[in-house]
Amino acid sequence: MALAARRRPIETAAAALRVPKYGAIGKILRERILGGHYPQGIQLPSESTLQAEFAVSRVTIRLALDVLRRAGLVESRQGKGYFVRPVRALHDLGRLQGFGEMMASVGVEAHSVVLDIAEGPAAPEVQKALELERHEPAMTIRRVRVGGGNALSYDVSHFPLDIGRRLIELDLAHADIFVLIERTLGVELGFADLTLDVAGADSAAAGHLGVGEGDPLVRIKRLTYDVKRRPMDFEYLFGRPDAFQFGVRVPRW
């Protein structure tokens, strides 16, 4: 009777979600990882412990753990078990993606903490990038991008006023700016020029990302255009090196 009672929550969850039992268990474990119940670097409970907790077979537990492994949330160490990996954003350099879209590709929910919104004179580099008139102001938005409960990126973004003033009225905490520009403002984005290097963290980035001042960060400079080739968004994205991985498809010729 007790065994049947223990089985019921997983069977009910699996039925409600219309997924196999291992999928329902994988979802529960993923939520524990992303919620901080299993912090980065910690060893997950053993297969036998999970088998007893969920009252399922060892094969089911191994399938659930493999779901987490393929999502990049855990790694298997021979003879030791499974350990929680740092949450990483997968940045496909061959696509124009927002942070939320990158995190979604690895099954991680993301949000932003808006630190500052300012309308004022544009620095020369911003003025040139956005093709503004001399002394024409711009809108600047500073955010920390959070994935899996961890601050992964510190972003400083600049917009022409006609775009920026409309953006700041929207939900910048829970939606990518690219998505807001396209779906809410009705502006179709076309392409972006992007450069990537390594830079030392300034005091602002260090404080928000939990690193030391001067520690190396991945720095992405990105200028995004709409389909009419008008520059819409000029930004610097600063990420912890352990929080990003980059991929690109390279043709032979």
Rounded to an integer, what is the distance from CA 171 to the centroid of its chain?
A: 17
- Rounded to an integer, the average pLDDT of 4-12 is 52
pTM above 0.85, yes or no: no
Q: Is it the case that residue 227 has pLDDT exceeding 50?
A: yes
Poorest-pLDDT segment among 7-21, 93-107, 187-201, 215-229: 7-21
pLDDT at res. 106: 65
CB 22 within 8 A of CB 67: yes
Kindly give, in sequence order, each residue whose CB lies less than 8 Å from that of residue 2, ignoring residues fewer than 6 positions away: none
Task: Report pLDDT digits (tens) over 17-43.
Answer: 566 889 899 889 988 887 778 887 889
CB 192 within 8 A of CB 225: yes
Kindly give, in sequence order, each residue whose CB lies less than 8 Å from that of residue 27, ignoring residues fewer than 6 positions away: 13, 17, 19
Give the confidence band of 131 by pLDDT, cuts at 50, 70, 90. Answer: very high
Kind of pairing, strands 81-84 and 137-147?
unpaired
Out of 1.10.1060.10, 3.40.50.200, 3.40.50.970, 1.10.10.10, the CATH code matching 2-84 is 1.10.10.10
Percent of residues, the chain, with pLDDT higher than 90? 57
Tokens of 160: 């022409």
CB 226 within 8 A of CB 160: no
Q: Where are the beta strands (DSSP E) in the chain?
A: 74-77, 81-84, 89-92, 110-121, 137-147, 150-159, 189-200, 216-226, 231-239, 244-247
Tokens of 155: 């972003």
pLDDT at res. 252: 87
pLDDT at res. 5: 44
107 or 56, higher pLDDT: 56
Greatest Cα pair distance in the chain: 78
pLDDT at res. 176: 92
Delimit the domains of the chain by residue range. 2-84, 89-247
136 or 4, higher pLDDT: 136
pLDDT at res. 115: 96
CATH superfamily, domain at 89-247: Chorismate lyase-like (3.40.1410.10)
- 3-class DSSP assignment, residue 129: helix
Euclidean distance between CA atoms 207 and 134, whole angstroms: 33
Q: Which amino acid is at 127?
A: Q
